Amino acid sequence: EYPGLSLQRGMLLEASGDFTKALEQFNGALQKQPNDIDLKLRVGAAYVSIGEVEKALPLLKDVQRERPNSAEANHFLGRAYLKQGGIDQTTALRFLQRAVQLDPNKAEYHLYVAWAANESSQLGLARDEVDKALALDKQLADAYWQRGVLERKQAAVKDAIKDLKHALELKPSRIEAHAALAEAYEDSNDTAGAMVEWQKAIGGNDKEPYWHWRYGKMLAVKNQNGDAAKHLAVAVEDGKKMQPRPAWVTLAAFEAGETQRKTGQKNEACANYKFFIETAPPGSADRRDATRAVAELACPSSD
């Protein structure tokens, strides 16, 4: 019944990467001592690690209020906001940088600052922080991944491919590196390599609408319209739910309409063409084609 035993057992499981079982131990201990700050931190951190951010945030906010100078509390709070993405990117970077200020000797802390900086296109900061992370830990797989993402943004595609491959050698489970590698192959006009990597990325995680869009576009160029339509439809449907909604969702809607039209999916094509017309900028190059398609398909009125 001693809560400290569950805490220690949970920390061992956490260190071994088994976050789900660690969470069971932490929650069990927290039920016995609901106001224990150390337990709240561990439970919040475990929730972040398994992607349950909504459960993590209240706990981590409590910890950070009680211990504003806890590097670990700031780090995991930053990671939670980073996971949420969108408008929370700035908040994420603020907490992650605070963690680095409080404890500059942890490679993982620098890695996450680089990650957040990459997400917000602060490439100078990303470079500084990823270099610091690798100086502290040369085997940190995710640092090579983030350096590869950065190098691609800076048009150093060969370096990006090398780092992304190394990241996957060190950590095959980092599925996002396959997506980054696919983009790098596209940049170097290696279509076959890019398609293989998109397949691996989506095979490992089919919940990323942006990946479906990029892969669907490539399939459409190859006139594989049936498969392209499936991926583009997923991209549009899931992309519409994102807040804020990315600009690429509008482009994906037109491309989905085109492939659906070619495969006889009239109703779906009509819906996507109309969404494109409603959301595309007035000067969009594809607006005329979308309007013509709606007329030719005799799409029903939206009224």
Token readout for 172 is 């095959």
Query: Could you read off the pLDDT of 204-226 as tens digits, one per residue?
Result: 999 999 999 999 999 999 999 99
Per-residue pLDDT of 145-164, as tens digits, reads: 999 999 999 999 999 999 99
The two structure tokens encoding residue 265: 């999916």
Does 10 have pLDDT greater than 80?
Answer: no
pLDDT in tens, 122-139: 999 999 999 999 999 999
What pLDDT does residue 239 have? Answer: 96
Asked which of 84-93, 116-125, 167-176, 246-255 is least confident by mean pLDDT, the reply is 84-93
Q: How confident is the model at residue 24 (pLDDT cuts 50, 70, 90)?
A: confident
Range of lowest pLDDT (43-57, 108-122, 146-160): 43-57
Q: What pLDDT is recorded for position 81?
A: 96
* Band of residue 1 on the pLDDT scale cut at 50, 70, 90: low
The pLDDT of residue 299 is above 90: yes
